C-alpha cells in the first residue's frame, strides 16, 4: 500500500525494454532537432552565419533519427512506443521554447554543447547500469553518436562562423544588450540615485524623523520608477532605433530607477537619525561611483568625465537637499 502511494509516476530506466530505449532515443533526436531549428529561426535576422550552424545541426539530428528509426523498423516493426524524456526518471530534460526565447547567442552556443554532453553522459551511465549485452552495446553506440554530435557542432561552427564573423556577431549581441538593458537601466539608476537625493535628505534634516524620511524616500523612488519606466517604454518602440523591446527597456529603466532611490532611503528604517543619515551618505558615495564605473564600462565614457558628471552632480543635489532641509 505504502509502496504504491510513494511510487514515482515516471518509469525507471532499468525497466525500459530495448524497443523503448530506441523509441526514447528517436523522440530525443526529434526534440533536439526542433530546438536547433527554433534557434536558427530566432538568430537568422541578425546572425545568419550562426543560424546556418543550427540548421545544419538540426539536419544531423534528423539523420540520426532516421538511422535509429531504421534500426527500430528492422528489429521491432513500424509501431514506435510513445515514451519521452519526461516519462523516465533521471533522464535529462529540455526547457520549453518559451523559456529559451530570450537566450543570447553565446548562451545558445553553450546550451548546445551542454545538450550534447548531457546526452552523452546519460547514455554512458545508463550503459554501466545495464547487464544485458545487446542493450549495453546499443547504449554505447548512442553515447558515441552524442559525442560525435559535439564534434560536429564544433566543425560546423568553424565552417560557418569563422573567428572574424563570430567576433562580429558577439559585438552585435553586446551592442544590443547595451541598447536594451544597460542604457535604459543606467539612465534609470542615475535618475533614481540623483533626483531622490534632494527630497530624501531635505525631509531628513527638516523632520529629524527617520520613519517619515523613509516614507518620503519610498514614495519618491517608486513614483520615479513608474514614471521613468512608462516614459522609456512609450517614447520609442525600438523598431527604427534598434534599441529592442520597449517593455524590456521600460522594465530595466523603471526597476533601476526605483532601486537607485531605495538605496539611500532604506537606511532610514534605522530609528537613530544620525546613524541612518551617515549610512545613507555612505551608500550615496558608493552609488555615485558605481554609476561612473558603469558609464565607463558599458557606455565607453572616459572615467574622469563620468566621475565629474555623476559624482559632482550628485554631490550638488545632495547639498541642495541638506540646505533646504535646514532652511
Block residue for cell numbers 539608476: 189
- Whether the per-residue pLDDT at 117 is higher than 60: the answer is yes
- Whether the per-residue pLDDT at 267 is higher than 80: the answer is yes
Cβ–Cβ < 8 Å for 221, 254: no
pLDDT of amino acid 211: 92
End-to-end Cα distance, the chain: 78
- Superfamily for the 9-161 domain: Ferritin, core subunit, four-helix bundle (1.20.1260.10)
pLDDT of amino acid 3: 45
- Whether the per-residue pLDDT at 5 is higher than 50: the answer is no
Cβ neighbours, 10 Å, residue 26: 21
3 state DSSP class of 72: helix
11 forms bridges with which residues in the sheet?
88
Cα dihedral 82, 86, 87, 90, rounded to 10, equals 140
Q: What is the pLDDT of residues 164-178, one digit of tens each?
A: 555 665 666 667 777
Contacts of 257 (CB under 8 A, 6+ apart): 188, 189, 191, 192, 221, 224, 225, 227, 228, 229
User: What is the C-alpha to C-alpha distance for residues 106 and 109, in angstroms, rounded to an integer?
Assistant: 5
DSSP 302-324: -HHHHHIIIIIHHHHHHHHHHHH
Phi, psi of 168, rounded to the nearest 5 degrees: -65, -40
Helices (H), the chain: 2-5, 18-43, 48-76, 97-100, 105-128, 133-160, 163-177, 183-195, 197-207, 210-235, 246-262, 273-298, 303-307, 313-326
Cβ–Cβ < 8 Å for 226, 294: no
Cβ–Cβ < 8 Å for 188, 231: no
Please, where in the chain does CATH 1.20.1260.10 lie? 9-161
pLDDT of amino acid 1: 42
Q: Which has the minimum average pLDDT: 175-184, 199-208, 271-280?
A: 175-184
Q: What is the pLDDT of residues 232-245, one digit of tens each?
A: 888 776 655 567 77
pLDDT of amino acid 6: 44
And the C-alpha cell for 183?
Answer: 542604457
DSSP category for residue 81? P
Residue 279 — pLDDT band, cuts 50, 70, 90? very high
Higher-confidence position of 275 and 4: 275
Q: How many CA atoms lie within 13 A of 130 on its CB side?
A: 23
Q: What average pLDDT does the chain have? A: 78
Q: 191-202 in b/e burial notation, b at 16+ Cβ within 10 A?
A: bbbbbbbbbbbb
When pLDDT is averaged across residues 30-35 and rounded to a whole number, the result is 87
88 forms bridges with which residues in the sheet?
11
Cβ–Cβ < 8 Å for 89, 11: yes
When pLDDT is averaged across residues 101-128 and rounded to a whole number, the result is 72
Nearest in space to 213 (alpha carbons), one of 201, 197, 225: 201
Amino acid at each position: 500500500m505504502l509502496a504504491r502511494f510513494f511510487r514515482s509516476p515516471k518509469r525507471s530506466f532499468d525497466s525500459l525494454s530495448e524497443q523503448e530505449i530506441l523509441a526514447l532515443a528517436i523522440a530525443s533526436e526529434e526534440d533536439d532537432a526542433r530546438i536547433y531549428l527554433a534557434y536558427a529561426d530566432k538568430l537568422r535576422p541578425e546572425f545568419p552565419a550562426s543560424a546556418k550552424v543550427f540548421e545544419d545541426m538540426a539536419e544531423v539530428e534528423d539523420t540520426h533519427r532516421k538511422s535509429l528509426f531504421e534500426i527500430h523498423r528492422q528489429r521491432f516493426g513500424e509501431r514506435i512506443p510513445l515514451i519521452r524524456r519526461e516519462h523516465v526518471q533521471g533522464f535529462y530534460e529540455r526547457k520549453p521554447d518559451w523559456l529559451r526565447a530570450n537566450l543570447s547567442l553565446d548562451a545558445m552556443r553553450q546550451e548546445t554543447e551542454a545538450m550534447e554532453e548531457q546526452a552523452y553522459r546519460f547514455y554512458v551511465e545508463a550503459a554501466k547500469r545495464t547487464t544485458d549485452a545487446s542493450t549495453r552495446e546499443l547504449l554505447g553506440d548512442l553515447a558515441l553518436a552524442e559525442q560525435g554530435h559535439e564534434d560536429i557542432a564544433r566543425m560546423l561552427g568553424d565552417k560557418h562562423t569563422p573567428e572574424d564573423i563570430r567576433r562580429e556577431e558577439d559585438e552585435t549581441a553586446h551592442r544590443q544588450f547595451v541598447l536594451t538593458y544597460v542604457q535604459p537601466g543606467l539612465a534609470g539608476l542615475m535618475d533614481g540615485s540623483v533626483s531622490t537625493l534632494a527630497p530624501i535628505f531635505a525631509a531628513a534634516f527638516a523632520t529629524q524623523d527617520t520613519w517619515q524620511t523613509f516614507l518620503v524616500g519610498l514614495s519618491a523612488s517608486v513614483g520615479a520608477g513608474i514614471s521613468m519606466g512608462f516614459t522609456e517604454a512609450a517614447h520609442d518602440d525600438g523598431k527604427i532605433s534598434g534599441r529592442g523591446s520597449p517593455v524590456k527597456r521600460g522594465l530595466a529603466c523603471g526597476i533601476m530607477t526605483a532601486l537607485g532611490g531605495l538605496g539611500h532611503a532604506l537606511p532610514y528604517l534605522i530609528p537613530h537619525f544620525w546613524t541612518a543619515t551617515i549610512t545613507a551618505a555612505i551608500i550615496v558615495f558608493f552609488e555615485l561611483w558605481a554609476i561612473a564605473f558603469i558609464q565607463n564600462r558599458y557606455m565607453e565614457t572616459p572615467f574622469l568625465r563620468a566621475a565629474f558628471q555623476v559624482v559632482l552632480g550628485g554631490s550638488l543635489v545632495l547639498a541642495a537637499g541638506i540646505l533646504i532641509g535646514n532652511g
